[in-house]
Amino acid sequence: MKMSFRWYGKKDPVSLADIKAIPGMQGIVTAVYDVPVGQVWPLEKIVELKKMVEDAGLEITVIESIPVHEDIKQGKPNRDELIEHYKTSIKHVGLAGIPVVCYNFMPVFDWTRSDLHHPLPDGSTSLAFLKEDLAGVDPVADDLNLPGWDSSYSKDEMKAIIENYRQHISEEDLWDNLAYFIRAIMPTAEAAGVKMAIHPDDPPYGIFGLPRIITGQRAVERFLDLYDSPTNGITMCVGSYASDPTNDVLAMTEYALKRHRINFMHTRNVTAGDWGFQETAHLSQAGDIDMNGIVKLLVEYDWQGALRPDHGRRIWGDQTKTPGYGLYDRALGATYFNGLYEANMRAAGKVPDFGIQEKTVGQK
């Protein structure tokens, strides 16, 4: 397991030096943020990004993400051209020596929350999805604008896209469009040495009348069968899947591990119910997920991929503007998961490697 941390590039107030100081931190999860969706990522931009990270003593373990254009998701006539652009970007990621790309196939937006600062019993705040806050709300009629929505579209364009999904694209249609995309890109990814890792829908159930398909155990099984190769894998985001209380994330994790198809791990904790869900501290008892059980499975199956602690609470006066991406609680989460990893590794008679080469500065 290689502990990794999301970094939003030069403009991120959390610096690479901050991240490097987290004990056992080895990897960076990042992206090229100044290329419009649907265009090719230039190789030189990826190489420049990689050098910046490596100069800080870290490595890029995952690209998160190369966004999938809405016209691909909707199966529009221009999708083949856009897919060719996507394939070229994958090739460039492979040429740069980066092993994994995380992406999603969610219509319109990457994630949805109704409250970015919902209080927790410990006095901190975190992201929450409260169904009652959105009951009866229509993002088209009510001119709604929520975090996580693709800001590259105007409001009128966004409304048109949402209406097209509602009127013309069912869940089965979206599955067909995903299958078309997967079967087109996977041979390129295999040749490039890049593993693909689809992220679940967040939340993993229908909202606003839009189709949602990567939602639980059956969806994962169906997805992996679309293209039976280790290259076609998942991002096992336990927090996203556990946002639906009917999902057994331990069973889902073991299923995907048995098939060697977890290409990336996200490990935020949540508590969920009929009312919605809220993100919590990473500690098992703070939420609904047995985090020790998750890490134990990773050790049992000798999983070697990148894991990031995903989101965190807002604590200690953290003023980072990106919701869920402050330094402090994510750093606590990383340290917690490294502790679980070491304990489970040693219990299994194994020695963990956190990539620490020097214990002090200079010759002693």
Per DSSP, 109 falls in state: B
Query: CA-CA distances (angstroms) from residue 278 to 179, 199, 270, 273, 321?
Result: 32, 19, 6, 9, 19
**Active-site entry in 92, 311, 336, 341:** 311
Contacts of 24 (CB under 8 A, 6+ apart): 3, 334, 335, 338, 354, 355, 356
**Active-site entry in 310, 328, 329, 336:** 310
- Number of H helices and E strands in the chain, helices first, is 12, 12
Among 176, 298, 321, 303, which residue's Cα sits nearest to residue 249? 298
For residue 250, give the 3-state DSSP assignment: helix
**Active-site entry in 71, 201, 237, 336:** 237
Give yes or no: 353 in active site.
Answer: no
Give yes or no: 118 in active site.
Answer: no
Give yes or no: 69 in active site.
Answer: no
CB 325 within 8 A of CB 331: no
Give yes or no: 168 in active site.
Answer: no
CB 76 within 8 A of CB 36: no
**Active-site entry in 199, 282, 288, 341:** 199
Rounded Cα distance, 133 and 168, in Å:
27
**Active-site entry in 69, 85, 92, 266:** 266
Give yes or no: 102 in active site.
Answer: no
Rounded Cα distance, 71 and 79, in Å:
6
Among 230, 234, 192, which residue's Cα sits nearest to residue 217? 234
Name the one residue in this structure whose structure tokens are 């067909």.
Answer: 176
Give yes or no: 310 in active site.
Answer: yes
**Active-site entry in 103, 227, 325, 336:** 325
Which residues form the catalytic set? 199, 237, 266, 310-311, 325
